[in-house]
């Protein structure tokens, strides 16, 4: 007989519990869920990336509406349970819905702690716990004004980073002398504060809040020493309390949280509790790994396993702020019965501290380099005697036993129960088992079946190493199909061999790499031509006959065999002289259609192929060059009017867009590249769906990348923020050059970035100044040899640096 299971709360813990339960006992329960929030289950770990703009709500949904339908779950959205009648075995929502149960699970989570100081209830004072809080903060951030975050713990710092990314002037107030004092020692706290301040966030420690100021809304925060910090938004992020009021009203045993035994049962055996509202073994938990362990135990008990029990384990702490690598685990307090091992590298910004007691690791603090966190966690959990590795322990797993160990060997040495993904509580054996039993071959497959690396992503490298170890040569994340039927080699291998063998012509490539055909085909010749142009810009002569017809004739072929011509308008800006020239060309050649494009230019459609040389000759006399609307290269830099005209503009977006376009035009790229510069966060130039975009903010320029708005729709990732226009240009050029050197032919930036890794791109462009400068210099060098518009030398009255040398192939010859 089907039992009625009612769940109060729809967070991550009950969602994971149901996954386990449906796997163990499908069809045993008719499930009803009451969710106080008006939405489905989502990944609360990822609220910080949503706040910062790195992810959208849709990207963090765990169980969409279809999942509930497929599993026969009745979900009441926006229904808060107000009463539990244990005698009648019913629950009642604030909308008057009463539901009977055989088994009840309480998963009401936690409530934020709000300091009861004067002004705490003013409009503009928010907490940070759920999506509604995030939406409210994003709305407030549109003002681009000042925010104060009270609390320098995990949530506080993530909130501060998100608001800063949204363009606000942010100050963090923290009561203690160092940030995250519960998870970090003072040394790591100092490094963390330094890293936070380097991101433009002010930090005030030893800051005791006396009052929140304002009449009808927040205007500032007053500290105990009399200091007043201006603020239009105040975020309280100082801690949470288990939300146990409903259980207490129902007569269940409540201490700090709802008291449960090791099987997650409350004082009423028909009722279980799990998640942040539960207290097990005298402890309450706020990190997700123990909550998922509670979910596993609760599911097992509901499925009839009377032996399943919760066992406490120390949980690592990680900060989800892009570019700050931090890992903390265990007990690292000082004591006479303890030893410590410390490694500091001031130049690299690395700090490691291991705390030992009786030759066993009991505490770990890692800052700047956290790759060995899983190994240190395993040593701590198993209380391994580290006497034999005492001298090399601080250097990590790879250095045990003398010479450095190969990374795959280090992963192989991890025990089966070693935790790989802390966010989702996934161990090594579960990942390996899923790969082998389900035939998984991609990272996305592993994420879908195990959840490993599906949240914060810091364990992605470990997961990929496990895949390489398990699948051997069958797994190669960079592997692709042969680039065409002329060769067995993929794009990556061809490009690697071109450099390694110093191949500098298409015939040389085909000969040395044993092409199966004499002259290649329409797929491989354009790709080889691009790779050679990109790798040897000063030695290889661009072969126009190996380009697509659109690139050869500087026009887009249409379905009726005619062509469209798009002259370049720098940043979408034009003049009466240019407009008259276009009108004259339209009249002279009887061009049937003239259209304004989405890239802020004018497209003339219906031109006969034989007229193309004369059309371009006339346009060239007026100073026009090709807009490259056909190109695997920079097409447009869309702009808004910016600070020159717009009352909201913070920077000269038009000027920057023109500067970028004039600096970079004519640079061939693996696929088309579209850019945009918006003068303020209102984003009128739609910079957040382009290959590269800039959103101007009061404090500088926020650079975005890896967006798409064609067959695939994807918002951009935030690369980072810079202060000056010169810095913005350097970072964009370096990013483009990195893409030019690493991407496969016809691979858009967003696909390349996903394959390479967003964090790796940020590391090389935002954090490694030497590498960024090298990319920039190589782009500038390659532009000296760019072979583009063959009529450009005819243009007069322009600065020489704005145009590139004439192509080796004449335009008429190319058109043929």
pTM for this prediction: 0.57
For the chain, give every residue range classified as CATH 3.50.50.60: 3-110+242-302, 114-238
Q: In 3-state terms, what secondary structure has residue 376?
A: helix
Q: In 3-state terms, what secondary structure has residue 590?
A: coil
For residue 805, the model assigns a pLDDT of 30
- CATH number assigned to the domain covering 629-787: 3.30.413.10
Is the domain spanning 114-238 CATH 3.50.50.60? The answer is yes
Distance CA 159, CA 436 (A): 40
Distance CA 145, CA 296 (A): 45
pLDDT band, residue 116 (cuts 50/70/90): very high
Distance CA 42, CA 249 (A): 28
Contact 782, 547 (CB under 8 A): no
Considering Cα of 479, then 482, then 488, then 492, what sign does the dihedral take?
A: negative
For residues 519 and 725, the model is more confident at 725
Span 68-98, pLDDT tens digits: 998 999 999 999 999 999 999 999 999 999 9
For residue 406, the model assigns a pLDDT of 61
For residue 727, the model assigns a pLDDT of 95
Q: Does residue 521 have a known ligand-binding role?
A: no
Span 410-468, pLDDT tens digits: 777 778 887 788 777 788 888 898 888 888 887 777 877 887 887 766 777 788 888 88
What phi and psi values does residue 192 have, to the nearest 5 degrees? -65, -45
> Looking at the predicted structure, is the pLDDT value of residue 147 above 70?
yes
> Looking at the predicted structure, is the pLDDT value of residue 316 above 80?
yes
pLDDT band, residue 480 (cuts 50/70/90): very low
Non-local CB neighbours of 253 within 8 Å, separated by 6+ positions: 259, 266, 267
Contact 75, 242 (CB under 8 A): no
- Establish how many alpha carbons lie within 13 A of residue 580's alpha carbon, considering only the half-sphere containing its beta carbon: 5
Is the domain spanning 3-110+242-302 CATH 3.30.420.40? The answer is no
Per-residue three-class SS string for 508-550: HHHHHCCCCCCCCCCCHHHHHHHHHHHHCCCCCCCCHHHCCHH
Q: Does residue 640 have a known ligand-binding role?
A: yes
For the chain, give every residue range classified as CATH 3.90.480.10: 547-628
Q: Does residue 646 have a known ligand-binding role?
A: yes
Contact 41, 57 (CB under 8 A): no
> Any idea which fold 547-628 has?
Sulfite Reductase Hemoprotein; domain 2 (3.90.480)
- Report, in angstroms and rounded to the nearest whole number, the Rg of the chain calculated over CA atoms: 30
For the chain, give every residue range classified as CATH 3.30.413.10: 629-787
> Looking at the predicted structure, is the pLDDT value of residue 345 above 50?
yes
For residue 322, the model assigns a pLDDT of 61
Q: Does residue 680 have a known ligand-binding role?
A: yes
> Looking at the predicted structure, is the pLDDT value of residue 692 above 90?
yes
In the block, tokens 């008429």 appear at: 812
- Establish how many alpha carbons lie within 13 A of residue 617's alpha carbon, considering only the half-sphere containing its beta carbon: 10
Span 537-584, pLDDT tens digits: 888 888 878 887 778 778 888 888 899 999 999 888 999 999 999 999
Of 112, 13, 132, residue with least CA distance to 62? 13
């Amino acid at each position: 007989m089907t039992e009625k299971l009612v769940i109060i709360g729809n967070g991550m813990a009950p969602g994971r519990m149901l996954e386990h339960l449906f796997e163990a006992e499908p069809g045993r329960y008719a499930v009803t869920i009451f969710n106080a929030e008006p939405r489905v289950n989502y990944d609360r770990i990822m609220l910080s990336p949503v706040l910062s703009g790195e992810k959208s709500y849709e990207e963090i949904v765990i169980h969409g509406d279809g999942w509930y339908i497929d599993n026969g779950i009745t979900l009441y959205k926006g229904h808060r349970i107000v009463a539990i009648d244990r005698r009648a075995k019913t629950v009642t929502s604030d909308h008057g819905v009463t539901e009977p149960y055989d088994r009840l699970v309480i998963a009401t989570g936690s409530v934020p702690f709000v300091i009861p100081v004067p002004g705490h209830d003013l409009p503009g004072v928010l907490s940070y716990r759920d999506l509604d809080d995030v939406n409210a903060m994003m709305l407030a951030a549109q003002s681009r004004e000042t925010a104060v975050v009270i609390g320098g713990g995990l949530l506080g710092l993530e909130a501060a980073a998100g608001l800063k990314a949204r363009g606000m002037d942010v100050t963090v107030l923290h009561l203690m002398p160092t940030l995250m004092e519960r998870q970090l020692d003072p040394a790591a706290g100092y490094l963390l504060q330094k890293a936070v301040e380097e991101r433009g966030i002010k930090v005030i420690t030893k800051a005791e809040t006396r009052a929140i100021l304002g009449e009808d809304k927040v205007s500032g925060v007053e500290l105990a020493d009399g200091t007043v910090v201006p603020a239009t938004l105040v975020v309280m992020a100082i801690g949470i309390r288990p939300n146990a009021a409903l259980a207490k009203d129902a007569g269940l045993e409540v201490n700090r949280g709802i008291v449960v035994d090791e099987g997650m049962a409350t004082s009423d055996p028909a009722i279980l509790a799990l998640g942040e509202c539960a207290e097990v073994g005298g402890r309450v938990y706020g990190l997700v790994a123990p909550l998922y362990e509670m979910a596993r135990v609760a599911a097992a008990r509901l499925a009839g396993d009377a032996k399943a029990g919760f066992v406490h384990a120390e949980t690592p702490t990680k900060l989800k702020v892009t570019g700050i690598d931090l890992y903390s685990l265990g007990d690292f307090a000082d004591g006479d019965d303890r030893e410590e091992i410390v490694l500091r590298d001031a130049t690299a910004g690395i700090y490691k501290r291991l705390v030992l007691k009786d030759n066993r690791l009991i505490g770990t603090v890692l800052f700047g380099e956290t790759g060995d966190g899983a190994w240190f966690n395993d040593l701590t959990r198993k209380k391994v005697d580290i006497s034999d590795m005492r001298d090399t322990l601080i250097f990590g797993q790879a250095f045990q036993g003398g010479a450095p160990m190969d990374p795959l060997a280090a992963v192989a040495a991890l025990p089966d129960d070693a935790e790989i993904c802390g966010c989702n509580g996934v161990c090594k054996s579960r990942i390996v088992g899923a790969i082998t039993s389900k035939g998984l071959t991609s990272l996305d497959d592993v994420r879908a079946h195990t959840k490993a690396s599906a949240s914060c992503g810091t364990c992605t490298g470990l997961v990929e190493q496990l895949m390489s170890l398990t699948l051997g040569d069958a797994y190669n994340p960079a592997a692709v199909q042969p680039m065409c039927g002329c060769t067995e080699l993929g794009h990556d291998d061809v490009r690697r061999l071109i450099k390694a063998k110093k191949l500098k012509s298409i015939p040389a490539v085909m000969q040395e790499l044993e092409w199966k055909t004499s002259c290649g085909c329409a797929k491989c010749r354009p790709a080889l031509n691009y790779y050679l142009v990109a790798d040897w810009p000063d030695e290889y002569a661009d072969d126009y006959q190996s380009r697509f017809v659109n690139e050869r004739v500087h026009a887009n072929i249409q379905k009726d065999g005619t062509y469209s011509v798009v002259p370049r308008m720098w940043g979408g800006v034009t003049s009466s002289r240019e407009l008259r020239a276009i009108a004259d060309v339209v009249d002279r050649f009887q061009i049937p259609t003239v259209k304004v494009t989405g890239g802020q230019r004018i497209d003339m459609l219906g031109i006969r192929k034989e007229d193309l040389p004369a059309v371009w000759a006339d346009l060239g006399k007026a100073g026009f060059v090709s807009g490259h609307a056909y190109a695997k290269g920079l097409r447009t830099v869309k702009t808004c009017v910016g600070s020159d005209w717009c009352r909201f503009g913070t920077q000269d977006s038009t000027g920057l867009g023109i500067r970028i376009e004039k600096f970079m035009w004519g640079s061939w790229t693996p696929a088309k590249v579209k850019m945009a510069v918006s003068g303020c966060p209102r984003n009128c130039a739609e910079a957040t769906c382009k290959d590269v975009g800039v959103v101007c903010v009061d404090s500088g320029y926020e650079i975005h990348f890896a967006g798409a708005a064609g067959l695939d729709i994807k918002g951009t990732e935030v690369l980072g923020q810079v202060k000056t226009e010169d810095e913005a240009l350097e970072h964009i050029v370096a990013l483009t050059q990195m893409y030019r050197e690493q991407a496969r032919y016809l691979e858009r930036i967003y696909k390349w970035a996903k394959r390479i890794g967003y964090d790796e791109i940020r590391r090389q462009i935002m954090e490694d100044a030497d590498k960024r400068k090298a990319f920039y210099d190589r782009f500038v060098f390659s532009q000296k040899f760019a072979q583009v518009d063959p009529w450009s030398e005819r243009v007069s009255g322009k600065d020489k640096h704005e145009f590139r040398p004439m192509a080796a192939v004449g335009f008429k010859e190319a058109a043929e």
